[in-house]
Amino acid sequence: MSAVLLEDRLGTTWKKPPLISNPTLRWGLFIAAAVYLVLATASIDVNWSRVAEGLSRGWAFIASFFNPDFVSRGTDIRDGILESVIITVASTVVGILISIPIGLGAARNIAPLPVYLICRGIVALSRALNEIIVAILLVAIFGFGPLAGFLTLSFATIGFLAKLLAEDIEEMDKVQAEAIRATGSTWMQWINYGVQPQVMPRLIGLSMYRLDINFRESAVLGLVGAGGIGATLNTAFDRYEFDTAAAILLIIIVTVMVLEYLSGIIRAKVQ
Amino acid sequence: MLELKNLSKTYRTGDKALQNVTLTVPKGQVMALIGPSGAGKSTLIRCINRLVEPTSGSVILDGTDVTALGSGALRKMRRKMGMIFQQYALVERLTVMENVLSGRLGYVGFWRSYFRKYPQADVDEAFRLLDRVGLLAMADKRADELSGGQRQRVGIARALIQNPRLLLVDEPTASLDPKTSRQIMRLICELCAERDLAAVINIHDVALAQMFVERIVGLKAGELAFDGKPVEMTEDVLTNIYGEEDWHATIREVDDEDAEAEEPVA
């Protein structure tokens, strides 16, 4: 080891060391990325005559947004929205209730290893299966209707909330929790006093966020038969009633925006 | 009252944080534990209430071997050991009162604590302690609204409401300004005297320790390196514990002018 001499360094330029220090690996990755990009672009196959045909249909769809029809299928829309709201609220509440114990179990710093592995397994399973796929399966089991939608969204909520709650618990301030343990508290008291106050704002914020995701998802799940406003939307598309479809989409957009706004206010309040 | 016998702790990383520490703290004695960072001071304190599990050796409090207890009995034993932390370790989003009352968690059942329905005697005691540390008016403030010195006072009240026999104090003044540090040390020592409590205080500030405590124990690389009265703390001893430095300014002169100058306590 030779000591670094100041005289040698003075006057020399200084550059930030590259992220990947091995030059072969660095340039190799650059070239691989470039080759991939070229090949991927070349593989896109556009049927321009089909696009030309479809453009007018797309335009009709967009044009109907300026002329949405809330009235002629008014009852269907109202029932659909009501069903979606019920699915959303019920699945969010049930999902939160189930995800809290699973989230506690999935936090490595408070759960013993076997519990941790089981809870992480549940989270992984819930996150691995896309909502649509779960919905198709549950529609096959329970038949068309809101029950399948409710179960799908509850299941999806568990994976989402339990994972993020567990991560928040893992990042909590250890000393605050340690202080509560030092008083001779039981495990439940320790969670209630040492852990819960630290993660509560995040939990409320995430729950609000999930409520708004669930509403949006309930619209999509209807397309595979899981009830809600999506079913009404699907019917409208099938009948080429773009003006009704536009009305439904506008309602969904406005509702999601309102929910987003509300959840923002609530999150700011609970900090 | 507190007896440590051949206490050792080796962390999973292989760090020997404590090696064969044997120590007795009699009833009512306030003892300061000094030593460089990493000497095992925090580990020693946490081994006493088993927030850290000792690898070998025993901790005996009032004739009971703490290291042999099962989890239920350990919880009961922890009630006898109040702990005060370096970064106050208040639960930031709870109120001052909740933080103080959390010291009673070992005595009340889950639902009582969950609904914050503590026995009136506990609530009264909490008010009395808050008044004693001068924070009665702050009872309903959230802990994160308080200043460092105020937070540490809440931490002290939380430890005392446990009605402990022993106080474990981990760097109580490390995050405080010099004046507040002295006030906090004085408060801790006064309260120990009032209630005849023994205390083990980890502290970096040697001069501050000399000012307030009756016994100093030095720890160096996990082993006892000094055990004696504050006046026996010489420059040689400090050099042995911390390494070579000019210690002259660190050791308190016998007639420290501060001693009289800052009598009144806030």
CB contact (8 A) between residue B158 and residue A179 = yes
Given a cut of 70, whether residue B262 has pLDDT beyond it is no
CB contact (8 A) between residue B162 and residue A178 = no
Position with higher pLDDT, A234 vs A37: A37
Chain A residues with beta carbon closer than 8 angstroms to that of B94: 193, 197
A121 falls within a domain: yes
Given a cut of 90, whether residue A93 has pLDDT beyond it is yes
Give the model's confidence band at B252: pLDDT under 50 very low, under 70 low, under 90 confident, else very high.
low
In this predicted structure, what is the pLDDT of residue B260?
43
Given a cut of 60, whether residue B208 has pLDDT beyond it is yes
CB contact (8 A) between residue B158 and residue A188 = no
Give the model's confidence band at B39: pLDDT under 50 very low, under 70 low, under 90 confident, else very high.
confident
Angstrom CA distances, A142 to A92, A147, A181, stand at 20, 7, 46
- What's the CA dihedral at A64, A66, A72, A76 to 10 degrees? 80
In this predicted structure, what is the pLDDT of residue B253?
53
Q: Give CA–CA dist B240/B220, Å, rounded.
A: 8
Minimal-distance CA residue of chain A relative to B74:
A184
Given a cut of 60, whether residue B263 has pLDDT beyond it is no
In this predicted structure, what is the pLDDT of residue A62?
84
A100 falls within a domain: yes
Given a cut of 80, whether residue A271 has pLDDT beyond it is no
Q: Best of B75, B91, B122, B142 to disrupt the A interface by mutation (most A CBs within 10 Å)?
A: B91
Angstrom CA distances, A95 to A89, A131, A153, B61, B212, stand at 10, 14, 8, 47, 56
A25 falls within a domain: no
Given a cut of 70, whether residue A47 has pLDDT beyond it is yes
A201 falls within a domain: yes
pLDDT digits (tens, 9 = 90+) for A116-136: 999 999 999 999 998 899 999
Given a cut of 90, whether residue A67 has pLDDT beyond it is no
Give the model's confidence band at A2: pLDDT under 50 very low, under 70 low, under 90 confident, else very high.
low
Two tokens at A148? 């399948």
As a whole number, the mean pLDDT across chain B is 87
Chain B residues with beta carbon closer than 8 angstroms to that of A189: 105, 110, 113-114
Give the model's confidence band at A243: pLDDT under 50 very low, under 70 low, under 90 confident, else very high.
confident
What mean pLDDT comes out for the span B199-217?
Answer: 90
Residues above pLDDT 90, as percent of chain A? 48
What mean pLDDT comes out for the span A6-33?
Answer: 89
In this predicted structure, what is the pLDDT of residue B81?
93
In this predicted structure, what is the pLDDT of residue A73?
83
Given a cut of 60, whether residue A142 has pLDDT beyond it is yes
Given a cut of 90, whether residue A56 has pLDDT beyond it is no
Total number of domains constituting chain A: 1
**DSSP secondary structure string for all residues of A28-42:** HHHHHHHHHHHHHHH
Given a cut of 90, whether residue B38 has pLDDT beyond it is no
User: By residue range, what is the domain housing residue A131?
Assistant: 73-270
Q: Which range (A68-77, A148-157, A161-170, B184-193) has the least confidence?
A: A68-77
8 A C-beta contact, residue B224 and residue B5: no
Given a cut of 80, whether residue A183 has pLDDT beyond it is yes
A190 falls within a domain: yes
State ipTM. 0.84
What mean pLDDT comes out for the span B90-116?
Answer: 93
A47 falls within a domain: no
In this predicted structure, what is the pLDDT of residue A74?
84
- Nearest-CA distance from B250 to chain A in Å? 30
Minimal-distance CA residue of chain A relative to B98:
A193
A159 touches chain B (CB under 8 A): no
**What values do phi and psi take at B25, rounded to 5?**
-115, 115
pTM over 0.90: no
pLDDT digits (tens, 9 = 90+) for B66-81: 999 998 999 999 999 9
Given a cut of 50, whether residue B258 has pLDDT beyond it is no
Most confident of A250-254, B123-127, B228-232: B123-127
Q: Please tell me which of the candidates B83, B104, B110 has its beta carbon nearest to residue A179.
A: B83
- Given strand B198-202, what is the order of strands in its sheet? B81-84, B166-170, B198-202, B30-34, B215-220, B223-228
**A79: buried, middle or exposed (CB in 10 Å: 19+, 13-18, 0-12)?**
middle
Q: Give CA–CA dist A130/A147, Å, rounded.
A: 17
A239 falls within a domain: yes
- Nearest-CA distance from A3 to chain B in Å? 25
Q: Give CA–CA dist B165/B79, Å, rounded.
A: 9
The CATH code of the domain that includes A253 is: 1.10.3720.10
Given a cut of 90, whether residue B83 has pLDDT beyond it is yes
In this predicted structure, what is the pLDDT of residue B99?
94
- Nearest-CA distance from A193 to chain B in Å? 7
A256 falls within a domain: yes
What mean pLDDT comes out for the span A40-65?
Answer: 85
CB contact (8 A) between residue A184 and residue B78 = yes
